[in-house]
Amino acid sequence: MKQLLILSGKGGTGKTTIASAFIKLANAQAFADCDVDAPNLHLIMNRMGEPRRSDYYGLDKARINEDQCIGCGICKQNCRFDAISEKYGVYEIDSFGCEGCSVCEALCPVKAVEMVPALAGELMLYKKAEAVFSTAQLKMGSGTSGMLVTRVKNQMKDAANPRTELAIIDGSPGIGCPVIASLSGVDMVLIVAEPSLSGISDMERIVKTARQFGVKMAICVNKYDTNLNNTRKIEDYCGKESIVFAGTVPFDENAGKAINRGFSVVDIPCPAQQAVEKLFFTTMELLKDK
């Protein structure tokens, strides 16, 4: 199974718009949304029925048993995450701050600290005929998004028919742990750039991050006609960095309209639809290319 990952660095450049269109055009039988922090792909993949849901637990988190605690403060002194507070001699764990390292548990002289399971999100698996769609929602304020991304990808791979040839994965913005987790094991990354100075700066940082994984890369520009000068800069950058420039998609209000109705941009005839189709065929050629 070849895996295509869509990333962007900057948020809101059109990752999900492109991913949903590609899924449609390829009639993809395996796809996933790795933006577990703010997932959206399920909003337009709403014709797959009800998902199978399962709880996602991050690392166990500390809890202090008040009756056993002698108020020595060793736990607070050694917590690197400022997750332990003290009020009138009573020590308490801030579950948002606790990263689950269990140093406090190991050091408590009276064994008053216990590590307890902590729900950190929910995994969803949609199935319709042969097609599988894996997604998840991280619990608000939670910090273990990289682990959850790995689970989303594994859930997709496990559920997919072994004969499935192509998987399309929608990534998350930024360059941090969820992005790094989404990069491992994919065959190609398509970066959706935006022709703004912010977009260019963010694109350069995601390229630098993806390069560390030695994965094949291509760049496309969405809403390219909103700033032709910056689009040219992106094309020049690709030339200089020897990255394939896969194509452009124009600004088209039909794209937003389609999404608001729960459709992908290729479901309605419009200039953006034609451009995305062209981009899709170019990307598929690159993906197959050794």
With contacts defined by CB under 8 A, name the span among 48-56, 127-135, 195-203, 280-288 that binds other proteins.
195-203
CB nearer to other proteins: give 29 or 145: 145
Residue 205 found at the interface with other proteins (CB under 8 A):
yes
Among 140, 214, 242, 290, binds other proteins (CB under 8 A): 140
What is the maximal distance between C-alpha atoms in the chain? 70
Chain positions 25 to 44 lying near other proteins, rule: CB under 8 A, are 37-38, 40, 43-44
Residue 123 found at the interface with other proteins (CB under 8 A):
no
Q: How far apart are CA 282 and CA 262, in angstroms?
A: 26
Whose tokens are 């990255």? That residue is 243
Binding mask 223-242 for other proteins (x = CB under 8 A): ---xx-xx------------
Residue 102 found at the interface with other proteins (CB under 8 A):
yes
Residue 264 found at the interface with other proteins (CB under 8 A):
no
Residue 122 zone, left/alpha/beta (φ > 0; ψ -120 to 50; rest): beta
CB nearer to other proteins: give 63 or 164: 63
Of 251, 257, 242, 253, nearest to 194 by C-alpha is 251
Q: How far apart are CA 176 and CA 82, in angstroms?
A: 22
Residue 154 found at the interface with other proteins (CB under 8 A):
no
Q: How many Cβ atoms are within 10 Å of 117's Cβ, its own excluded?
A: 11
Contacting residues for 167 by C-beta, under 8 A, at least 6 apart = 1, 2, 3, 4, 28, 30, 31, 32, 156, 157, 160
CB nearer to other proteins: give 99 or 282: 99
CB nearer to other proteins: give 2 or 233: 233
Among 173, 234, 249, 276, binds other proteins (CB under 8 A): 173
Binding mask 69-98 for other proteins (x = CB under 8 A): ---------x-xx--------------x--
Amino acid present at 102: S
Q: At what angle do helices 253-260 and 271-288 cross, to 10 degrees?
A: 80
Amino acid present at 221: V
CB nearer to other proteins: give 52 or 208: 208
Residue 215 found at the interface with other proteins (CB under 8 A):
no
Among 3, 195, 217, 247, binds other proteins (CB under 8 A): 195
Half-sphere exposure of 156 toward its Cβ, with a 13 Å CA cutoff? Answer: 29
Element (H, E) at 16: helix 15-26
Q: Output the six-digit token pair for 24.
A: 């449609």
Among 27, 67, 89, 253, binds other proteins (CB under 8 A): 253
Residue 197 found at the interface with other proteins (CB under 8 A):
yes
CB nearer to other proteins: give 164 or 172: 172
Contacting residues for 164 by C-beta, under 8 A, at least 6 apart = 1, 29, 30, 130
Q: How far apart are CA 163 and CA 145, in angstroms?
A: 29
Q: Return residues touching other proteins (CB under 8 A).
A: 9-13, 16, 37-38, 40, 43-44, 59, 78, 80-81, 96, 99-103, 106-107, 138, 140-143, 145-146, 172-177, 180, 194-199, 201-202, 205, 208-209, 212, 226-227, 229-230, 253, 256, 259-260, 262
